[in-house]
Structure 1
Amino acid sequence: MPQDYDITLKISYLYDSPAAASRTLLRMLPRTEPGQQLLAGVVTADPAPGWRRDDTDFFGNATTEIAHEARLTRIVFRFDGRVRRALDSGALDLSCGLPALAQQVAALRDIGAASPHHFLGASPRIPADPAIAAFARACVGPDMSAQAAVQAVSRALHGHFTFDPTATDVATPPAQAFRARRGVCQDMAQVMICALRALGIPAGYVSGFLRTLPPKGRPRLEGADAMHAWVRAWCGADAGWIGIDPTNDMAAGGDHITVAFGRDYADVAPIRGALRSAGRHRTTHQVDVIPV
């Protein structure tokens, strides 16, 4: 049986000095894709914008572009909706052997949004890094399947990192987080993507939600208090894309609700924008993912 979730995401900004000429791009509306269906949902801003356009980006993520001309001392961006998520399938490992993966990627001629070709090389926030590449190579063996290699890297990174929300910020490069061995889900996801690409495994970044209340008898997952991040890895023509959550060292399954995916955080940031302002601002995030 599928599971429905009622979801609320609220991101608030308070400005010390009134901000003007604000233009913002939001990615807050969950995707509809295999195993996940957006049943109902709305993205709003308070105060209401003077201009708005809803669209999708190259990767098929829902976008909302808004503009405010009036001066703002505060603004709240919000998503409210219901999502239906398929439960974990426990799928078998259908991936090819790791040495054969490059040949399977090369055989693909598709360059659409889901093509693994977009997810092999360096991207704006995830440059190649020799130390991460060496770490990745030490995690895998030549006889592993692609999926087993992905799982091995996740397991090693999970043991390598300490979850620490104070250690990094949204702009921290993966190499810096890797050296510190501390960070949050964004850091672990981007380090893992760098590691997988070094092994020739196409990998991308996923932003979304985790259920706030775990099933009875199961521990609460790291990252459930804010938007979460995990990894998509392409494991061959038969297996396709699989989801893996290195923060919790688990497959991305029924507890994970996808909002957006791309090459790295720059492609999926929930809020990007520009405005005229002086002084500092404060921001707060609030997430609730409640099973219906």
Structure 2
Amino acid sequence: MKFWRCVFCFSIVVVTARAHAVGENIIDAVMRSDFVFDRNVSNVPFFPVGYLGGNVQGGIELEDCGPESCELSLQNYSHALGLPVWVGQKNMILLGETLDYETIELNVPGGENQKRTIKTAGGMLAWVGQPSTSIQVGAFYYYYSGFDFGKSIDHPWGSIGGGGFRYRHRPTFHTYWGLVGINEQSMQTYIPYIGFDLYLGKKWSVSALLPWPAISYAPNKHSIYRLGAIYSTSQWVADGETELDVKSISQVNVGLSYERQLFSMLWGEVGAGYSGFGRYSIEEQGNVEFEQNIASTPFIKMSLNIRP
């Protein structure tokens, strides 16, 4: 399941409402409101309100593929944007959207290469409130679906909803608590959410916000180095012997990235690292019928981020 999607939505609601104040009118409205953002405690910039990026991996070996090895190659290009559309004294409403284009190719020795393209779009509605100086609350609903220009099947779909709150222990330390419900291919899952962020002086921060925990170093307000991890999945629907099967590839990417402010709110990022704990699985009616480990492999990524 696309776990990162629900956490991205959750982060928009209770982690980074402050980062979505784009545009002078919105910024002015937020500054006049009761929202507490702790903007000046660190050089580390806010979570991006939007991004456009790519991630490329090649030579991913499937273990136990038989006498000869099988290899996967992955390419992912994604875009997301989330902004407040209304800001009151203690409440705000946000809208967001995501677009993903993924290519998965399986190379089988002595056989035909199997290539898969997955195109997915999603939309989100969220509410954020500030009932007191110490507590920020929120709730969201997100729906996504694959599309293939007229085809009615053969793509993933799902909806994700939930809510939670951020507790401000002090300007440099916050904890996050919530619950997320996921409905994918008619399978429902509920996941509790717990995390924190801690700022150590102006230059360092430690973030335990899944699925992208990170240690960040920002020597100034225009650049940042980050060592972190992210859980990623690719999911698609394929014709089985009797019905549609859900296939998925999941892995944990750990790497180092460098990001620099290009101008105004636009930042450029480059990074590289290694992926591990990979799994390839096939499910039928919610039951795992086939599962296989994926060997570790390097990856590179590039992105453009919008940070207020």
Same-fold status (TM-score > 0.5): no
Could you tell me the TM-score, scaled by structure 1's length?
0.29
Q: Which has the larger radius of gyration?
A: 2
Question: Which structure has greater strand proportion?
Answer: 2
